[in-house]
A and B are shown apart, each in its own frame.
Chain A
Amino acid sequence: MKKNHHFIYFLLIISTLAIVSLATFFYIRQLNRTILYNITGSVSEIAEHDKAAIQSYIEICWKDLHEIHERFLSIRCDTLQEIEIRMNLECASSGFSHIYLLAEDGTVYTDKFVTYTPGNISMNREFDFLSYFSGGKEHVIVRFDDKAASGWHSKENILYGVRLHDFEVDGVKMLALIGISDISSIQDNMVIDSFIKNGESRGHSALIDMEGNYIVNINKEIYLNKQNNLFEHLLESAHSDLTNEEVREKLMNLETFGFYHTHVDETSRELFYFIPFGNDIDLYFVMSVNEAVYTERSRVFITMSVIMLSICIAAVILMLLVMMWHQKKTIRATEKALSQREFLSNMSHEIRTPLNGLIGMNHLMMVHIDDDSRRSQIKEWLNKSHSTANYLLSLVNDILDMSKLQSGKVDLIREPLLIPVLVDDITAMQSGNIEPRGVSFTVEQDLIEPCIESDATRIKQILMNIIGNAAKFTPAGKSIRFSVSQQKTDELHVTTIFRCEDTGIGISKEYIGKIFDAFSQERNRNNNGIKGTGLGMAISKILATALGGDITVESELDVGSTFTLTIPAVIVKDIPDYLKEDAQAAESENVSSADAAPERPIKILVAEDVELNAEILLEILKEEGFETALAQNGQEAVELFERSEVGEYQIILMDMQMPVMDGCSAAAAIRKLNRADASSVIIYACTANTFQEDRDMAMKSGMNDFLSKPIDIKVLLKKVNANLK
């Protein structure tokens, strides 16, 4: 059952973890997608913004050229030199490094007074500016790397051009005004501050033409690698979401688009975003952002999410555990309540049954007490009442024992004990029950170490249960064999094995499994309604376990049962003197009669506050030949003793719970009296409290021994005789 629970818990935890893992996986994937979407959105926004800034810059450059042209018109220039001087001055005050006038025949007049004539090969350079304005273009922006023939003048430039209409100088028709600007001026507008970390820019922007040629590119790595075309860059890349052909097609269609590609060294992945300019600007704005930018951002979110998820999972698990704990507690409480209810129900049934018998028989006896013809029947009812009362007593004792044991209060007194004495005691007590019923009872002892350290009372209690059961369930003509053997574990320890084999009615297989459960009793045709409390074996099992041993049973219905009690214990090599004396006493008892009447009259002082109990006790003692005196409380007992002659009372039976003065106080007071017999008078504690602490308390107050109520007169006489001897 427990294993099943564990498996269910394991499955529950695994399922929870699986669900959480799956949820986490999808959450993080979705989070990445969302971040990616946001980054793409962010990149597109930045790209749109930067594109707008660059477009504005380009348009300002064109506007500047238009304004220069307007000033040319307002300040009349009649000669080409005048217009060149004008251009020189305009250039000096403008942001352009050079200003050119392009004539319709392709001749270029410059602000630096150099005239580039088409076909002039002496310059080793030829400007083909006319092609820029083909197709009626009004505005031009192109990359213009001016590699001067001298080799001294090599610059990366941007050429801005505006078409002129009806502008003529010294008979030369001018087609366009051109301004050359160092590439750095537009590059300054393309620095992306958003993606700079530790001084390193992880975002780059570029201007490309429709063929993918870089017009402006501020990715220094590409520049240093002399990559002049975007497609060369992309071709070198290992993976790209779009092929070069697809990119080309999109460029031709003037689409705004983005895609990812992994660089050739596969160390970085970039998002490329493309926006066409339009408005006479036949260029694309390109922005590339390193993947690290958004992985860093997503890492923060993921870290936070993982922390939050961990906290949630921990909280859920904690709640689950609390719920499980609470549920377990509830189940236990329910089970306990059920168990208690069942216990009470059993108790009620078990106690009411004999009481009912007692009341019934008492009633019958009262009705027929004067009917002499029923005398033999009344005697039978009295016997039955006596046996029922004894059963009731044993039931109460067992219930109290069981209750105490179940609450974990197993009091063990480990002290040296002599196994032969213990066996003799049990044999003596049980043989009277067994042999008269025609059942053979044999006892065997095979001992290595007769003296061990254990609890004699508890062992005796267990064995009395086992043998008592055997006696009950072994019919006449059958046999009971009680054997004791030992196995030495080491030099200091020995395991004593008590085995009770009977050839009685046996136990069914179904019941064997429940035999050690409380209130369990097999009801079958064989036991013939033999009563028991159903607690004896349960108590025995608990006690055997508490003693470090075990109790097992083997049985076959109609064949018999074997109960085995194993008790491990420490070997006692030096047998205490008092045990030796006990042994001798036992031997001598075997010789003389155990219940022989005392040789001379003995006077017993009975201290008992309950009148009925006192009357019964006094009557029994009287019938056994004792002289008696009664004290109704402890104080009175002390006074009676004090007033008596020395040696008048040999024995005092002291009830422990009495008004005025309790038994322990009275015993202590008597022991303190200044008289010769104060210390020698034998005081027996008589109480219904059978717990160890009560015994200890009695012994501490100076009493000699302990007799539990109702007092077994045989035991009393045995003790009295033993003491008198």
Chain B
Amino acid sequence: MKKRILSVLLAAAICSALLSGCGKNKKDSPKEDVTLIIKAPELALNSVTRPEIAESGMFLQMAGEAFADQYEAANVTIRIEAFDYIDEMEAITGCFDTDDATDILYEGYFNMASYLHTGRVVPLDDIISDELRNDIDDAYWAMSMADGKTYMMPFLSMQNILIYNKELFRECGLDAYLTDDTIIQNWTLEDWNTILDTLAANLPDRTYPIMMYGKNNQGDTHIMSFLRSYGSTIFDSEGNFDFEDERVIEALTWLQNGVDRGWYPPHPENLEIADCNELFLNGQLAISLFNNASFTLYDDIGEYGFVNFPGDVATSFITGFEIFDNGDALKVQAAKDFVRFLYENEEWLELSAGNIPASSAVAEKYQDQISMLNEFTANSVHVVDFMNNSPNWQGSDTSVRNVFWPQIRALLAMEITPKECASALNRDCNAALKIGRQNSTLHE
């Protein structure tokens, strides 16, 4: 009897030990370590909710740490790397298949869109809830997609319009074009001719009517906006450039004539957009570029008026997220979970308030605090998709951006006629698109 009792007790002890052992193993099973490399250029955030988070790096670092603290699927370490635009290729494509490969990229669509075609950017539809889909305007989604899938997550945007110096306008007798209301104006081409000719004739020495530049590819988007001034969309129905459209040639002619008509600073072919901006800020330029991020540059914004590009055109720069597949499924999942975390937590999503938030809910919540939000929202009808989801937009020597500006420079230097310029642009830019399409690979 005693033996039987001992046997039962022994068996119970063994079972208990085994069970506790199993339980312990399960509880202590270590989570895998994952390091997410998030790269971004230095971008001002201008957030109204937390002004102390001045730039994108700080935002990503703080959000990343908050995500890592609560994430259970893996031990996540966040590494933020900022890069200069001039080093972007090295930082992104140059790091493919290295330990420094980008997992998440936070940047403007303007640059980011090119990477979709490398086949490494993963679709994000699986982390976009219906609620989020409905919260963000379809125009944003349209610019985030390729081949029916969403590859980029819009976070905020900036609208590109023009700004003019009211004082200089007054000095030149152009009071009629001024308005006391803070609105984004639209001038007819006839108005534009009148205003620019008047400014050219009446502005003080070494002060010029409107920005123009052709030294490099910076600001080429805005030049393309000018090319729409006569009503062309600059793309044909198949997505190719149609610069030889009569309306584009008219716009090119209009641009070139501006050189002789004294609309621009001398030798605009030797200027870049930054020079024009300096001239405007220094009161030596009457009309220049403006977007949401520029409010901080001006002490008294009331002294300035706002107008769309000729042809009532505005463009939008969207900034958001892309996730790269570097061959590690766990990292991809963690990256997706991080992006979803940002959009599901108001604290982080609301940091987009300051520029134009992609989220309608955030925009509505902070509409009174975001400068000219309503005006920009109202002006969105004039916003055109300047990239048209085109591949090979930038990066290589044969990209659209790198073959576009040399022709504009030649046009401004009077080296070619508008027709020749249109022809060359068609040839070179469509060749760039063709290369892009040929090389394009979307992630499966």
Contacts and interface: CB of A to CB of B under 8 A. Distances in A.
A88 interface: yes
B206 interface: yes
Given A114-B282, A150-B278, A91 B270 contact: yes
A149 B297 contact: yes
B282 A120 contact: yes
A147 to B, nearest CB: 11
B58 to A, nearest CB: 15
B266 A114 contact: no
A152 B273 contact: yes
A9 interface: no
B281 A84 contact: no
B283 interface: yes
A151 B281 contact: no
A331 interface: no
Interface string A64-92: 00000000000000011100110011011
A116 B278 CA distance: 10
B267 A88 contact: yes
Contacts of B277: 148, 150, 152-153
Interface residues on A, range: 20 to 34
A113 B284 CA distance: 8
Interface string A120-134: 101110000000000
A114 B275 contact: yes
B208 A123 contact: no
Given A150-B297, A151-B44, A122 B267 contact: no
Interface string B271-304: 1011101110111100000000110010100000
A80 B206 contact: yes
Interface in B218-273: 218, 265-267, 270-271, 273
Contacts of A84: 206, 266
B266 A113 contact: yes
Given A113-B206, A113-B208, A123 B274 contact: no
Interface string B286-329: 00000001100101000000000000000000000000000000
A112 interface: yes
B397 interface: no
A113 B274 contact: no
Contacts of A80: 205-206
A152 B294 CA distance: 10
Interface string A574-594: 000000000000000000000
A115 interface: yes
A177 B265 CA distance: 22
Contacts of A148: 274, 277-278
A114 B208 CA distance: 11
Contacts of A85: 266-267
Contact of B279 (A89, A92, A114, A120): A114
A7 B275 CA distance: 91
A6 B281 CA distance: 97
Nearest to B208: A113
Contacts of B273: 152
Contact of A123 (B44, B265, B281, B294): B281
Contact of B284 (A91, A92, A115, A151): A115
Contacts of B271: 88, 112-113
Contacts of A88: 266-267, 270-271
A532 B297 CA distance: 133
Contacts of B293: 151
Contact of B282 (A79, A81, A122): A122
B282 A112 contact: no
A113 B281 contact: no
A115 B206 CA distance: 9
B44 A149 contact: no
A149 B266 contact: no
B168 to A, nearest CB: 13
A89 B215 CA distance: 12
Nearest to A93: B270
B213 to A, nearest CB: 10
Nearest to B283: A122
B155 to A, nearest CB: 19
Contacts of B205: 79-81
Contacts of B267: 85, 88-89, 92
Nearest to A151: B44
Nearest to B218: A152
Interface in A87-124: 88-89, 91-92, 111-116, 120, 122-124
Contacts of B270: 88-89, 91-92, 111
B304 to A, nearest CB: 12
Given A84-B266, A88-B266, A92-B267, A113 B279 contact: yes
B169 to A, nearest CB: 17
B100 to A, nearest CB: 12
Contacts of A111: 270
Contacts of B274: 148, 150, 152-153
Interface string B59-87: 00000000000000000000000000000
Given A81-B206, A92-B267, A115 B275 contact: no
A714 to B, nearest CB: 94
B281 A112 contact: no
A152 B266 CA distance: 22
Given A80-B206, A84-B206, A153 B266 contact: no
Nearest to B43: A151
A89 B277 CA distance: 20
B206 A123 contact: no
Nearest to B265: A113
Pick from B218, B265, B274, B294 the residue with the most CB of A within 10 Å: B274
Interface in A644-672: none
Interface in A353-399: none
A123 B281 CA distance: 6
A89 B268 CA distance: 11
Interface in A461-508: none
A80 B205 CA distance: 9
A111 B284 CA distance: 14
B284 A114 contact: yes
A113 B267 CA distance: 10
Nearest to B271: A112
Contacts of A112: 265, 271, 275, 278-279
Contacts of B266: 81, 84-85, 88, 113
Given A84-B206, A115-B206, A149 B281 contact: yes
B283 to A, nearest CB: 7
B417 to A, nearest CB: 22
A118 to B, nearest CB: 13
Nearest to A84: B206
Contacts of B208: 113
Contacts of B278: 112, 114, 123, 148-150, 153
Interface string A147-177: 0111111000000000000000000000000
B423 to A, nearest CB: 25
A124 B294 CA distance: 14
Nearest to B275: A112
A81 B278 CA distance: 17
Given A122-B282, A149-B281, 14 more contacts: A80-B206, A88-B270, A89-B267, A112-B271, A113-B271, A114-B278, A115-B284, A116-B282, A120-B282, A122-B299, A124-B281, A150-B278, A152-B274, A153-B277
Task: Give me the 9 closest cross-chain CB pairs, A-B, nearest first.
Answer: A153-B274, A112-B275, A150-B277, A92-B270, A114-B278, A113-B265, A85-B266, A88-B267, A152-B274
30 contacts: A79-B205, A80-B206, A84-B206, A85-B266, A89-B267, A92-B267, A92-B270, A112-B275, A112-B278, A113-B265, A113-B271, A114-B282, A115-B206, A115-B282, A115-B284, A116-B282, A120-B282, A122-B282, A123-B281, A124-B281, A148-B278, A149-B281, A150-B277, A150-B294, A151-B44, A151-B293, A151-B297, A152-B218, A153-B277, A153-B278
Interface of B: 44, 205-206, 208, 218, 265-267, 270-271, 273-275, 277-279, 281-284, 293-294, 297, 299
